[in-house]
Structure formats: C-alpha cells, structure tokens
Structure 1
Amino acid sequence: MKKLTTFVYTALAVGSVSAQTLIQAYKNRADLVSQTNITTNLQQFSNLGIKTTGSVNNANTLTWIKNKYTSFGYSSSQIAEDPFTFGSTSSKNLVITKTGTLYPNKYVIICGHFDTITGPGTSDNGSGTSVILEVARILKDVPTEYSIKFIHFSGEEQGLYGSAHYANNVEFQSGVRKLDIKLVFNLDQVGGKIGNVNNKIICERDTSGQSGNNAASNTVTQQLATCTTLYSPLQTSISNAYSSDYMPFEKKGDVITGFYEYTRSYNEHTVNDTFANVDPVYVFKVAKAAVGAMQHFATASSTVSAVSASKEKPLTTLESVKMYPNPAKNILNIELPDSGTRSFTVEITNLAGLSMLKDENKSQLNISSLENGIYLCTVKNEGSSVTRKIIIEK
C-alpha cells in the first residue's frame, strides 16, 4: 500500500549482529538469482494489466502465480487458495507451504501483495511478487529447519483485507492461535525507478502497535540488513514498518520485518507504475538479498557437497557484464567479465518482446537503425544469460 505520506527514514547501526558471517552455501544459492527470470516476471506481471481486487485481471494474476509454482515443481498439496470477502468483493490469497526438517509446525512467512489500483503496478507490487517467486524457485529443494510459507496477498490496496483475513481466520480461528509463526518478512514496492541511483534498500522494523514484539522485530531487521550486505551488493537503511501486509500479523503479536525501496519512485498508485519505469537490475539485487535472508531466517542447510556446489554455482559471471553508453546513440558497447568467455550472443528486444537486433560475438553493436526508446539487451553464453534495460536516445 505505502500511501503517499511523508515519513522520515532513520538509520541504525547493525553492530549487534556482527557475529553473522557469510555462509558459502547461502551465497551460492543467492548467486542463482537470474536477471532473466526477474525481468521476465516483471514483464509478464505488467502485461496482466490493472489487477483491482475482485477483477478478472486479479484472478488471472493469481493463476499466473500459481502456474509459476507448478513449473518450479511444487505439488498441488503444497499450493492452496485462501478465499475471502469484504463488502461485495471476493478475492483469493495464494499460499504455498514448504515443510521444514526440524520444526515443521513453525513457519517463516515471506509475503507480498499482487493486487493494484491504478496501472499494472509493476513496482507496487510486481517487484515484490517477482522476488518471492525467485526465492521460491531457488529454495524449492533446499532443506530448511523451519517451514516456509510463500504468501501472495490480494486486497492490500483497499485496506490489507487479504492479509487481515489470513491473520484473523487462518493463523487464528475463533481467537485461538492455529499457526506458530517465527516471523513475517514482507516485500512491498522494491522496484526502484529507472534512472535513479538504486543501490540501497530500506529494512523495516516494528515501532507501532503492540510493544511486546518490537524488540524481536528490531533484532531480525538488523539481521535482515546484515544478510543484505552479505549476499547482495545493496547498502541498507533501517526504518519503520507501516501500511502493508505485515501489519495484521503485528497486531496478533507476530515478529515482522520487510523490504521497501530506499530511493522513492513515486510511481505507485499511478498509471506510470509500468515496466518501462521500473529498474529490473535493482529488483535482481533485492532478490539476492531476499534469498540470503530467507536461508538465515529458516535455517537452510549450509552443506555444499561436490555435486550441489557444481549445481549451485553460476555457470558464468555474466551478471557483471557492462553495456555502455546508456543512454546510447549509434553504438552500444558490450563488455563481458574476464571469465574466458569466447562465444556469446547479444539480442535487443523491444518492451513487447519483439526481437529488433541479434548478433554473435560482437562487442560493439550498431544500433543506429533503432528508434529512440527503451529496450532490453540480453547476453547469452553457455546456458547462462543476463538482461539489462537500455535507452536509445539520439
């Protein structure tokens, strides 16, 4: 939701959790985050249109999310729809459960909403949706001591209806707690804005409502900040949780934390919240941080066997490929990392996915025939790929 209200970002030191150290297996998995997957998720989410709660587009988006989990290998028994009604409006949350090895009845929730009110909502909250999907894909077969629930809420924009329903009717039933929740990690509007300096993320802690869960929230939020710096290139700032899907859980006494973009885009709740204005590279970095943090929160296996290491380490370091100048005029330079890469393809597509230019092993592309606008440039090598948004401006 994140209404357009003024609030102050405050930063806290994270020295109290300095004992957290990098776990190589966690980093290997964080490095599995795919820029291509993130970009594709954002594009597809945007193409589903305005997703007002109760609308056909909203229902279609839930189906799209569900199909993603099926493609990852989650079984039908792990995927559940959670219907709710407010007033004359009916909608559904989507809940996917991954069972823990030691504490199967204690849950770490990672969540975000998929409904929108104006525009396709690519940042608010296609970005959070895309990150949760990538976390779920990567952790699908990773043993975790605690169970994980990946929850996609609807009804957030109208007043947190989906998450309130879940907290009041699933977590609690007739006032009796039915779910033991370790913490709730919410992602809302982590898309940034193309053209902004997007190198920092807000880590949100509980400072309102019940006071009994504030200290624990502050601790896990500092842990979230530490995980972010360990497993992604992002810097962190700590601020206050407000007006999003963790709040109904906070009212129930649960421990909450969350991510929110640091440099405000101000495109939320407007027709400008489109794929063309979001920063896919920023979302990619947020996803790496989220994968690292979820492994920490759910206590993932830290074992890296010879077999798993070969599967988990990225085939190349294409994420560090450079494309410049950007904006470009007539020539676009492609600079690959010093990884011995000898064969690669470069393809430029428009935002509708139509191929505009494709070439092999060219470090300089002649783009003089392309019109001004925003395009996607994808570099592929040995089954690995990376996509960057480029601007052509003559």
Structure 2
Amino acid sequence: MKFAFRLTFCLLVFSISVSKAQVFNSFYNEIAENVSAANLSNDLTTLVNFGVKEPGTNAIENAKDWIINRYQTLGYTDIETQPFTVYGQVTSNIIVTKTGSVYPNTFLILDGHYDTLNGPGANDNGSGTVLLLELARLLKNVDTEYSIKFIHFSGEEEGLIGSEYYVNNTVIPENLDIKLVLNIDEVGGVAGMNNNTIVCERDESAPNSNNAASAQATQEMANCFGLYSSLQTTISNAYGSDYVPFENNGEIITGLYEANESPYPHTPDDVIENMDLNYVFEVTKGALGSALHFALGREPLGVFENDFTKNIVIFPNPSKGQFTVSFSALPAEKIELTVFDVLGKMVYNNPLNNSTNYISISGLKRGIYFGIFQSENYRVVKKIVLE
C-alpha cells in the first residue's frame, strides 16, 4: 500500500502511441494469452485465507511457506529467504531467481510485498503477489536473455523495511547489476467500477540521474499494455512503495498501481469481493508482455529458422560502429535490419538488399545493442557490440 498521498497534479493521461521499437510480438502475445484467471483466483483465495499477514504472525509465516512451495511446484530451485526484523518481529523477504541465457549477471527485478495491515490484504497486496506467481509460471520455461528475480518483500506496510534491507544487504554489497525494477502494488481494482486503466509509474524524484531512463522504461511498459492487454494507461509519479529504496540507490525503476484507488486496504474489508478479478487478469497480461520485453524473451528456433540464423554473419563484432552484414545465401524474402539499445529504443532501421551490406552506426555510444533481422516469416536477434 502506498503510504503517502498521490500527487494528483503530476498525473498525466496518456494515449498510447506504439513506436516502431515495440511492434506486436506474436510469441509474447501467445504467452500472455495463457494467463489463467482460475490460477489468479485460486491463489488469491488461498493467500487471503491465511488472514492478517503482519510480521511476527503465524499468518505471514504460513503465507511465506506457501509462496515458497508454489515456486518449488513450478520447478524453481534458486529460492532464497532473507530474514530481518520489523520492530522486534522476525519476518523474511523471498527471492527467486531465473537465470538468463545471455546476461546471467544482469537482472530484471519483478517485485511486490506480501505482508498486510489490519486485514487479509486481497488487493493490498494479494493482487501483486498472485500476479508475480502467474508471471513466474509462464516465464519458467521461456529463454530470456536477462536474468529475472521475483521478489516478495515483507515489512512494506511498516515503511518499506524489507526492500530497504534488501538494497542495503544485497544490492549494495554485491554491486548487483540491475537492468530495471518493476514494482507491483495494489492492482486489484474496485468492484462495481469501470476498471479499464492501469497507472504506470515513473521516477520523478532525486537523484535525477535515473529519471530519464525510468521515463523511457515506463513509456515502453505502457506500450506493452497496449499490445498485450485491453487496458488503457496513465503515466504518474512513483512514490511510497518498494521501488523507493532502489530508486534512492540510483537504480532504474517503474511500477504498476490501480487507477481506481480502493478505499479498503488496511481494513478487514480488503477482501476479494471488493476487487475486480478481471482487472487483475488484464494487468497480469500487460505485466507479462512487459517482462518479456524487458528480459528479452526468445522464441525457440525451428530447423529452418536455425538455418536462417546461421546464414547471417556480422563482422567485425565488436566494432567501432561500422560493420558488414553478409548472407552466405541471399534469401528470396525481403529482410529488414532494426537495431535497438538495451532499453528497447530503436536506433537504426534499414532493408538489407544485398548479399553483403555495409552498416554504419558509429554515432552511437559504446555498449551492447540488438540487431533484429526480420523477414516475412522469420525473426532473428543477434547481439551487436560497439567498443
């Protein structure tokens, strides 16, 4: 639950304009279409039935054990509990890691708190908790280039204590390389209302060095919701939830929050009947598309696709920004090369009409880029390194 008033004057209503950098990805959509409303409802019912999940209670310990068991059932093995104290009561963060295939030491963090205050917390933040579990289910066997950490924080309701502890005791001492933090807090909607909009939150606070990257990531997440869910989006400022300790540490953050703000959190009336489960379903689809976008989900290649991939040669790579793309056999299909930076921003786009093509992107900064070779039937991603 947010523990400060929303700065309504910072709200900006945003009509989605999907840039060329984010075209509809049928593979991502196929995964998003497998979000299960039944899973979300069943998990939420189980979580709510544990009762008021405050640090030091049997309820939160039972919820912790159940969350861990759910990940184990899904096949995850890299599961860590991180104990800490909240006003003398011991509680734990839960950290589950899925290793990326290209950048195993760089992490997309998907997080939400599972503790509650004065009530069972169906919306605040049972909605975020079950969303993370459904994302973990659907991402388990997807090849992602970046690693993903699913983190369930405790102590949020007492002042972001669990996330602060994680940043101070894991992120900083381990110099954790974080691509992006996506925080999910209270995305259940309000029963009986038209819940058709999700708030996408960006960093507008000091330190200012991470604000531009946060705004870019938040824009991309809003685009993903337009591609993979039925929801409209509103851009607003990030505040008062578990991304704040990361934000203060200079990390790039974004977040999701319901547009129709429920009056029930922190009360016994924060129950499923006062939520909109279809809204949670649509938020989960958009969040899943966003996670695939940020973690760079990769579709398995068929035999012919693998041949198509081997046919493409980039040299030199690394380069100073001038390199050659050649085809051992020029395909009959038209091929287009689009280059993106690590945040998904398009920096180059041109057709490749010859067996040997000379490319210049020397005006770009040093770093890692991704070249997408797109034909009518196939899409291949190759890493391009500028030094």
Which band: TM-score by shorter chain?
A: 0.7 to 0.9
Q: 1:272-323: per-residue Cα shift (whole Å, max 9, x none)?
A: 10111111111011111111000000000134759xxxxxxxxxxxxxxxxx
Secondary structure in 1 matching 2:293: helix
Paired with 2:195 and 2:302, the residues of 1 have a C-alpha distance of 35
Instruction: Choose which of 254, 259, 262 in structure 2 pairs with 1:257.
Output: 254
Q: Which residue of 2 aligns with 1:59?
A: 61
Paired with 1:12 and 1:196, the residues of 2 have a C-alpha distance of 20
Paired with 2:193 and 2:126, the residues of 1 have a C-alpha distance of 18
Q: Which residue of 2 aligns with 1:156?
A: 156
* Aligned-partner residue type, residue 21 of structure 1: V
* Aligned-partner residue type, residue 28 of structure 1: E
Q: Shift of the alpha carbon at 1:93?
A: 0.4
Paired with 1:127 and 1:114, the residues of 2 have a C-alpha distance of 9
Paired with 2:271 and 2:282, the residues of 1 have a C-alpha distance of 19
* C-alpha distance 244-149 of structure 1, shift in aligned 2 (>3 A): same
Q: Shift of the alpha carbon at 1:17?
A: 3.9
Instruction: Choose which of 229, 233, 236 in structure 1 pairs with 2:230.
Output: 233
Paired with 2:153 and 2:227, the residues of 1 have a C-alpha distance of 29
Deviates more, 1:260-269 or 1:125-134: 260-269
Q: Which residue of 1 aligns with 2:71?
A: 69
Q: Shift of the alpha carbon at 1:172?
A: 1.0
- 8 Å CA contact 1:24–1:302 kept in 2: the answer is no
Instruction: For 1:337-352, list aligned pairs within 5 A.
Output: none
TM-score, L = length of structure 2: 0.75
Q: Structure 1 residue 114 and structure 2 residue 111: aligned?
A: no
Secondary structure in 2 matching 1:11: strand
Paired with 1:16 and 1:213, the residues of 2 have a C-alpha distance of 23
- 8 Å CA contact 1:17–1:222 kept in 2: the answer is no
Paired with 2:260 and 2:149, the residues of 1 have a C-alpha distance of 29
TM-score, L = length of structure 1: 0.74
Q: 1:163-221: per-residue Cα shift (whole Å, max 9, x none)?
A: 00000110112xxx521000000000000111111111000000012100000000000
Secondary structure in 1 matching 2:90: strand
- 8 Å CA contact 2:145–2:295 kept in 1: the answer is yes
Q: Which residue of 2 aligns with 1:125?
A: 125
Paired with 1:168 and 1:51, the residues of 2 have a C-alpha distance of 24
- 8 Å CA contact 2:102–2:145 kept in 1: the answer is yes
Q: Shift of the alpha carbon at 1:54?
A: 2.0
Q: Shift of the alpha carbon at 1:19?
A: 2.8
Structure possessing the higher radius of gyration over alpha carbons? 2
- 8 Å CA contact 2:16–2:233 kept in 1: the answer is no
Q: Shift of the alpha carbon at 1:45?
A: 1.1
Q: RMSD of the alignment, in Å?
A: 1.5
Paired with 1:194 and 1:154, the residues of 2 have a C-alpha distance of 27
Q: Structure 1 residue 283 and structure 2 residue 285: aligned?
A: no
Deviates more, 1:292-301 or 1:12-21: 12-21
Secondary structure in 2 matching 1:67: helix
Q: Which residue of 2 aligns with 1:167?
A: 167
* Aligned-partner residue type, residue 129 of structure 1: T
Q: Which residue of 2 aligns with 1:82?
A: 82
Q: Percent identity?
A: 48
Paired with 2:231 and 2:162, the residues of 1 have a C-alpha distance of 30
Q: Which residue of 1 aligns with 2:3?
A: 3
Structure 1 gap segments, 5+ residues each: 307-394
Secondary structure in 2 matching 1:62: helix
Secondary structure in 2 matching 1:236: strand
Q: Structure 1 residue 33 and structure 2 residue 30: aligned?
A: no
The total of aligned residue pairs comes to 301
Q: Which residue of 2 aligns with 1:190?
A: 187
- 8 Å CA contact 1:25–1:303 kept in 2: the answer is no
Paired with 1:245 and 1:17, the residues of 2 have a C-alpha distance of 29
Q: Which residue of 1 aligns with 2:140?
A: 140
Q: Which residue of 1 aligns with 2:203?
A: 206
- 8 Å CA contact 1:14–1:225 kept in 2: the answer is yes
Paired with 1:14 and 1:299, the residues of 2 have a C-alpha distance of 21
Q: Shift of the alpha carbon at 1:18?
A: 4.7
- 8 Å CA contact 2:92–2:162 kept in 1: the answer is yes
Instruction: For 1:306-385, list aligned pairs within 5 A.
Output: none
- 8 Å CA contact 1:156–1:244 kept in 2: the answer is yes
